């Protein structure tokens, strides 16, 4: 599965580059905050970091473009358990690390010679690299592997929407993505907590 995932990424870049090679393509890095929520659970703050690209479909100042990207993103959720020892609630925290590929189409509207606003939309595909669910209570720490125990499926996909502002080589991006697949297994399917993630990121293009 991992080989297929990275093979898909390489194929996407290979197909996009020749199609728009006569224009100014952009390649860079991106990083930021990722806040994920799931139905019936509390929100979870994580991070995202990876690479970003843009392949313009015209040479105009305002243009459509393809934007395949790849990054590591931390998602999850929080719930509470009651510890009978002291009758207090403690956080049960779930952390999941995904390798994610969004395949979006965007439109950039130029504002001046070096700045512009943009919006993007498209699907994303994600593969779970690791995941842990843990709680710390007095005298005892408990953790379990989310994927090994069958609580979550490794593969996920959904829809992604983004908007932002760019100046010179920099971009500030706000995005929202929503899973369209039941990612939980066994008893978790009763809750069907499809994840929704809000991201605030900063990107820098080298070229």
Closest by alpha carbon to 18, among 55, 60, 67? 55
Q: What is the pLDDT of residue 153?
A: 81
Find all residues with CB under 8 Å of 11, minimum gap 6, and list them: none
Q: How many CB atoms lie within 10 A of CB 129?
A: 14
Which residues is 200 bridged to in the sheet? 33, 174
Compute the distance between CA of residue 158 and CA of residue 104 in angstroms, rounded to an integer: 12
**pLDDT tens digits, residue range 145-195?**
888 777 778 889 999 999 999 999 999 999 999 988 766 655 555 455 678
Per-chain mean pLDDT for the chain: 81
Query: Strand ranges (DSSP E) for 57-167?
Result: 63-83, 88-111, 115-137, 140-145, 155-167
Cα-only R_g, the chain: 19
Question: Considering the entire predicted model, what is its pTM?
Answer: 0.79
> Residues of the chain with pLDDT > 90: what percent?
44
Q: Among 50-54, 73-77, 86-90, 124-128, which stretch is predicted with the lowest mean pLDDT?
A: 86-90
């Amino acid at each position: 599965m991992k080989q297929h995932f990275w093979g898909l990424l390489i194929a996407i870049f290979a197909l996009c580059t020749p199609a728009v090679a006569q224009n100014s393509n952009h390649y860079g890095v991106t990083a930021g905050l990722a806040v994920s929520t799931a139905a019936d659970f509390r929100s979870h703050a994580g991070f995202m970091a990876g690479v970003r690209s843009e392949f313009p479909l015209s040479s105009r100042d305002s243009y459509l473009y393809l934007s395949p990207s790849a990054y590591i993103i931390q998602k999850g959720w929080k719930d509470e358990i009651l510890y009978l020892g002291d009758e207090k609630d403690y956080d049960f925290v779930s952390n999941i690390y995904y390798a994610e590929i969004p395949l979006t189409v965007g439109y950039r509207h130029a504002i001046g010679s070096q700045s512009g606003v943009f919006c993007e939309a498209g699907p994303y595909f994600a593969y779970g690299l690791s995941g842990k669910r843990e709680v710390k209570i007095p005298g005892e720490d408990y953790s379990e592997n989310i994927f090994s125990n069958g609580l979550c499926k490794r593969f996920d996909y959904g829809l992604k929407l983004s908007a932002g502002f760019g100046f010179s080589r920099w971009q500030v991006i706000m995005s929202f993505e929503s899973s369209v697949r039941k990612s939980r297994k066994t008893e978790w399917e009763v809750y069907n907590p499809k994840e929704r993630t809000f991201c605030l990121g900063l990107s820098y293009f080298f070229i």
